[in-house]
Amino acid sequence: MSQVLTKGVNAPAMTRHDFEDFLYFEAALLDEWRLDEWLALFTGDAKYMVPATDCTDASTPADSLFYIADDRFRMGERVKRLNKKTAHAEWPRSKTRHTVHNVRIRSVEGNVYQVACNFVTYRTKNDVTNTYIGHNEYKIVVGGDGPKIAEKRSVLDLDSIRALGKISIII
């Protein structure tokens, strides 16, 4: 597996190619269930969100019901949970394949990058395969120890999640 990028603040600006490597690495960590390492990709005050499918871009977890709206503490608890056998929905663990594409740098402000990508994540459990289709909106802060995700908003491009059932994995 490739290394996480380690460009400092004084290093050349991050390119799309750099972010592609970074997001591919995140996807691989999730597929390999290396969730503690996945968590380490995030800042100490990070947020991870999956809005309900009838939410708009303006919806926030403070005013609308999401599927997932974790602060950094709850992200850590989610990881702990998914590492346990008592996370029944994910035991035996499902097989997942996270694919990332159409990566774009939407804006840069200082060392804060807004990065978007499309995703398709497959989850197979009990011989049933679910396909999570959507796009991710990332806020990524590039510091001395490389890029860290401050916010990940996974927007499902679906009318409902009836075809998925649940969102028991990190998408």
Partner 1 sequence: MIEKESGNSRSAYVIDDGVGGLFKVARHSFVDEAVLEDERRKVFDRCWLYFGHESEVAKPGDFVSRAIAGRNLIFNRDRNGKINAFYNTCTHRGAFVCRESKGNARNFQCFYHGWVYSDEGKLIDQPGKSSYCANFNDDGASNLARVERLQNYRGLCFINFDRNAVDLETYLGGVKEYIDLVMDQAETGMEIIGGAQAYAIDANWKLLCENSIDGYHGGVTHATYMDYLANTVGSMSATSVSGGGRQLGGGHAVIEYSAPWGRPVARSVPAWGEQGKKDIDAIMARLIQKHGEERARRIGHMNRNILIFPNLVLNDIMAVTLRSFYPIAPDKMHVNAWALGPKEETTDMRERRLFNFLEFLGPGGFATPDDMEALEMCQRGYQNLRAVAWNDISKGMNREAPSTTDELQMRAFWRQWNALMITKEAAE
Residues that bind partner 1 (CB under 8 A): 50-55, 59, 61-69, 73-74, 77-78, 80-81, 84, 86-90, 126, 128, 159-168
Q: Is the peptide bond preceding residue 92 cis, with omega within 30 degrees of 0?
A: yes
Q: What distance in Å separates the CA atoms of residue 118 and residue 96, rounded to the nearest whole number? A: 16
- Block residue for tokens 């490389």: 146
CB closer to partner 1 out of 9 and 128? 128
Q: What distance in Å separates the CA atoms of residue 105 and residue 62, rounded to the nearest whole number? A: 27
Provide the 3-class DSSP secondary structure of residue 60. Answer: coil
CB closer to partner 1 out of 43 and 53? 53
In the complex, the smallest distance separating the C-beta of residue 114 from partner 1, rounded to whole angstroms, is 23
CB closer to partner 1 out of 24 and 67? 67
Q: What distance in Å separates the CA atoms of residue 73 and residue 62, rounded to the nearest whole number? A: 17
CB closer to partner 1 out of 109 and 159? 159
Return the CA Rg of the chain. Answer: 16
In the complex, the smallest distance separating the C-beta of residue 10 from partner 1, rounded to whole angstroms, is 38
Query: Residue 57 is encoded by which pair of tokens?
Result: 């871009």
In the complex, the smallest distance separating the C-beta of residue 142 from partner 1, rounded to whole angstroms, is 29
Q: 139: closest CA among 127, 129, 151, 154?
A: 151
In the complex, the smallest distance separating the C-beta of residue 21 from partner 1, rounded to whole angstroms, is 28
